[in-house]
Structure 1
Amino acid sequence: MTNKKKQSAVVVAATVMSITFVLSPVAAVYAADAETAIVQQTRSTEIRENALPVTLPQELSGNAGQVLQDIALPDGWSWTDGNTIISREKPEYPARTAVDDKTYDYSAVEGYNAEEHFVEKNIPVTVLVPETEESTALSAKEQVQAPQTDSISSNTGEIEINPTSTEARENAPLITLPQELSGNDGQALQDIALPDGWSWTDGNTIISKEKPEYPARIAVDDKTYDYSAVEGYNAEEHFVEKNIPVTVLVPETEESTALFAKEQVQAPQANSISSNTGKVEINSTDFPDEKFREYLLDKFNGDGENKIAIADVTLIDVKDRTDITDLKGIEKFADLKYLICSYTGIQALDVSKNSNLETLSCTDTEIQDLDVSKNSNLKRLYCSNTEIQALNVSKNTALTYLFCPRTKIQALDVSNCPDLEFLDTRYMNLAYLDWGTADLSTWSKTLSTIDLTVTGDTFDITKKFAGIDISKLTVISGGRLDGNNITDYKVGTPIQYTYACGNVNGSSDTLTVTLNLSKSVSKIEITSNPDMTYTGNPVKNPSVDSEGSTGDVNYTYEIWNGRIWDKYTGIPTNAGKYRVTAKLAEDDFYKGAEDTKEFTISQAANGWTEDLAMTDWTYGDKAVSPTAKAIFGDVIFTYSDSEKEAYTDVVPTDAGTWYVKAAVAGTDNYTALEATKEFTVSQATNGWTEDLVMTGWTYGDKAVSPTAKAIFGDVIFTYSDSEKGAYTDAVPTDAGTWYVKAAVTGTDNFTGVESTKEFTISQAANGWTEDLAITGWTYGEKAVSPTAKAIFGDVIFTYSDSEKEAYTDVVPTDAGTWYVKAAVAGTDNYTALEATKEFTVSQATNGWTEDLVMTGWTYGDKAVSPTAKAIFGDVIFTYSDSEKGAYTDAVPTDAGTWYVKAAVTGTDNFTGVESTKEFTISQATNGWTENLAITGWTYGEKAVSPTAKAIFGNVIFTYSDSEK
């Protein structure tokens, strides 16, 4: 994000510099940090910067048959489908690059995906085809056999077309797009030079900052090279069309011209007339941040000393320096005018000593407080994306720019800033905003949403939001304003109001605020101690103190199970660790509350009445059961192969030394008991009871399972395509010679055993189980799916408008004759299959779904729009003063009889349709809005002018010495 911001800033600075020729250092830095506010300052809606040009990866290559994921892309790019196999028939493949569409506007960029935030482009790849014996032989064959008579049948009735005799064309070479093009906003494309061979599709197109790409064409030699798979190829006119990125330079506005002109004059003067002629030592005491010290010495120390002249420091620009975390020491620089510290690691900022500060940018930092009360010369303040919760600019009367979006400020009063022109309060949940008498040029805003708790059926909004002016507040919905109080609301239903903030471009503007109401918090506290010793009787509910809700108090209990608290049904009696929760029920304006307290019921002691006893046995014999008895609880026996390791309830069967544990689980009523004892299970002898048996099968049949049995242990069957190769448990399915191995792994209980056997899977024949079938359909109807089934393999359906031309998986929609191909790729296991079938998509008959409707109107009234809808196509409305005359899209305004025509132009897919209708614009009745008035005058005085106004037309005054 930081890098992209930085890139954008450089573009903006370059744009301004290209027009103003030379900027002062201060002006250049300000342009780089203004986050395009100057360029886009006249827009009051939410502002996003124009998309940066997308530079495509260049000079990529790979071998035919290679997957795309093996071809490296530049950082930020990824293949749309990395598993795609590249081939010489296709020279371009889609890839994606993630974009920052929160900062930049990519809506006009071809291939932009708003939901997943990426741009997808086709990337040229040079496909290298390795020379094989077949290709060598083919090339030789084509050189010698091309003119042979195999291409013409000896049967004089027909000519046989031999595919090997058609003219071969080479794969299309890579097309390199023009790079680093730029032009001014409003310039025609034809004025932007392209490399030789390229031309703009429409050179009269005017470029604008809203559109970063424009189509251009390059002529191609499609007689020698095959461009059919290249996106944008036009076979009829022999060119390829591509969208070319163009950097659009935005000329400065009057405001920015004035701003930069002012900075050009004033920036250097501050140093030349400064009263601060001394120097300050750059030490770790006054400047504790090492990286900040390095910056100051690097920028301002020209004589090699560890000191810098105070008067030299009018601009500090540490933007993007995340390694700088403390700007302490800037108070030494009284002449500092421009402080740019955005995207740094600072968490606090003190500019109280920098009284000459004019521009402050501290965006995207972690500062929580900002005091600018001593900065009366401050003109521009940028503090977006910070933790600031309040901002007082009452002393900043010179402020003209204030950008504070995405802060935690909830109330903002800038009424003491009469020169304020630009204000950005997006993504701030403001309760109110007031800029007094200032007339803003731009206010970027979003809706405010505030969560608010209430304790009753009315609340004083001036106490909820100190400083809010009731006279500027209008409740729209969810409640009613009664004096300072909001009433008639319901918790859960938002209150929405508007707040009159001031004027933008001479017109008043308002802030829309939504208050999401919620209930206030109640409190409850358990005041007694429920601890007790186990008696067999339940505990008593504890006493409580509560405030807030008037609801009932209920008690629930939980028991600790050693890991988590479990719900306890009823009231605890047994010994253990418990907790009780007192729950205060909610009422209309208070939430419920609860308090939880732990308590203990003490436990009793336990012991053995019969000690643990256990005897040995031999592996395979029946296991001997241990014996033991306890005073309390049931004795559980568990086993382990190590005295100190984990025990389970699984009785051991394997030979070896074992341990048995007798245990009584501790409960809340009594303690646990445990004892262990060692015993032995002796080892037994193993062997085969049934030898390995295996028979082969035919591919596609059910696999035959091998059989073998051992005296002890499970027989594991594994398979390999080589007797001495690696074996796996995957049962083979492909045709060929295979080997099966039956094995029992030796253990401490018995010895291992192993045997192998060869078997064969025979190749199977393939064929159609259902022939290819498809029926045509009419344009506009749902496409009919073809059907076909093969004995083996998946059937792939592809389509073409020519039986012998290339087929694709795109289902046709246009009317015409089409061909479908059903194909199964052959394998070593079965043969390939292929079939084609012709079908037709018929032209649809068009018609009206809604007839043409048009009503007249009276001269001077708003024109009535005609309505009509067709089954297919867009309806175009035109007008004429004669039913058979020429029609245009100009809507008539004069009174009279007129005709409207609704028409849809026919295509190959559907027929055209047309309808006309007569309508009338009636003559309007005129009259006086102000009656004729005139007063006399004395001879020699200036004549008095009469006055009168009519509803329509200009009033002409004439005079006579006789009324008649």
Structure 2
Amino acid sequence: MRTNVTTKKDGESLIVTPAPSPATYTEGLKLSGIILPAGWIWGNGDTVLSSAGEASYKAFFDTTAYENEYDFEGVTGYDSRTHEVIRDVAVAVNKGTLTEAAFQLTGNSEFTYDGSPKGVSVSLSPEKVGAGVISVKYYQGNAEVKKPTDAGSYTVKIDVAEGANYNNAASLEIGTLRILPKALSNDAGITFVGTHIYDGQEWKPALTVADGEKTLTIRKDYEVSYPADMTGVGDKVITVTFKGNYAGAKEVTGAVKYLDAPAAPYEFTKGYIQGDIVWIKEGNKAEITPPAGYSISSELNGAYSDVLETDSQIASVYLKNNQGQMTGAISVSEEIKTDAEAPAATIKIENNEFKEFLNTITFGLFFKETKEIEIESADNESGVKTTEYCISEKAMTKEELEQAEWEVYTGLSLNPDRKAIVYARVTDNVGNVTIVNSDGIVVYTDSEQKTEEITYTKTTKENVGAKVILNGNTVSSIRNGEKELIKETDYTVSENGTITFSYEYLDSLKAGEYVFTVSYHPMGEEYVEKEGNKAPAATEIKLSVNKADSLVKFKDGVTFDKAYDTKAVVITEEDVEKSGSTGNVRFTFEKKVNDEWQPMKEAPVAAGAYRVTAVLEEDDNYNFAEATLEFKIAKAAPAKADANISNNGKGISGAETGNNTNISLYISLFAMSGFFIASLAVLRKKKALENK
């Protein structure tokens, strides 16, 4: 067994596998372009690196020069036959970078605008392989244009996606795409409203410009220029100049014309037309009115209004419709004249004529039958337009008459039971007005007396009424003989014709017969004596003034019965009650003889049956009254010697007067006679009252 002892260095300490720096991919890159450390060589330096990425290639290290110093037997990849260390070396090839030079435009890059998007083709140099997808972009300035359509120049840029051998590239400027404007002049279609009706405003018609079926856009595809005068009437040449996607120019002609006047272009609406003359009132103006939908002016493009006013001759007028369109001059043939005179008016009532306006009016015409009123009118210039009348019961001012209701005069009559002031108003055809009025007219019916007789009983303090049929009249006065009664004090008159006489006045009259004469104001107006006037008739009321009844009676419990005492019966006013008359009370006496009452001159003294009559004498207001009362004077009893001696033991004081057995009978008869006398007195009183 042989033992080898070496002193050589370990070859591993010398051999280090190369790690070359990464290369960047280019076309034709070879291994020989990859630098290895000293002593190392590529197995095949002509090997082409055809793609980016990482791969291993054989590299050789020649150990010949080192074998005396190093022992390579244990070194990985050592080949003692060739004296080489062979190892796989990793080579990294990074992706390359593309530039504009690697690309070029292919095909057409210049077009004429036709409204469709345009584009170019970009190709990569054939020797460049392993590049990514190419994206073409178009720019105008910094703005990207997705689909170049409009005329202009576009910068062509590309983005290249990352490929097998090349990194991505962005915004590589390759070239220019050009789209030329389309020549458009006579071929352009231009439409517009070619006729404009004059309105005093600048006319700039809207044009529709088309390229075939495509409508162009103003300011983008074309501009429009107008002549300096686009207001006045006449032809207007308008120029369309194309721009943007189009080139060239074209002219079109329009026209401004006056509005056609309507068949009846105006009407005089204030002012009276008399043939070819238009009459106006002094200080007023004629008014010329256009048809509906128009305004009018005396000058073109002047101040138009709904009505044109003028107080002098006018040659022409101009119309403007609601759209502001105007006519040319329209001739006015009518002559304008001023009517400065007011018409004449006359009111006739029988022989009375009224031709002016009376500021002070009284009711001075009185009639009892229907009256015809005539109104005459005349005017020498524009003529009478209307004759009217107004009837009022009171005087009216001219201001009030402006608000009054007037009626057209075709004849007028006033029927009875009416009072009136007649106003006549005559208006000529330009509005001159004359107003005249009549004096106050009263057409009435006499009042009638309905209550012909009245009666008043004095002191009753009750008013007494009498009815008259006024027929619209009022009571002017009431006379009692020659004396006039005081209204509202002695009497009042109601609206329904009741005359109420006050009891104070009636009480002031003495009892007797009177006649009241009632006079009247026709329809409430004081009658005026005048030729042709009819005076109102008076009515009469007969009055009976009667005295009131008095009352006298003997006081309850009063009796004049007594026994004969040689003295006459004494009766005074204290024995009676009385009311009514303020006259004295006197008493008369009667004596009953054989059932008959016989008058006595004096008050009775002797025994007997009597009747006294109390007579209350009448005064100015009351009748007399009387009352009777029967009484007896009994015979006096004879005097007794001893008043204490009893009568047959019956204890009756006084003198013996006879047989006492009939005393009860006498007493009964006396009582019955008293009742009979009182009853008779009552019957006599009742009969006396009935006979009054």
Q: TM-score, normalised by structure 1?
A: 0.17
Q: Relative contact order (C-alpha < 8 Å, sep 6+): which is higher? A: 2
Would you tell me which structure has more strand in proportion to its own residues?
A: 2
Q: TM-score, normalised by structure 2?
A: 0.22
Larger Rg computed on CA atoms: 2
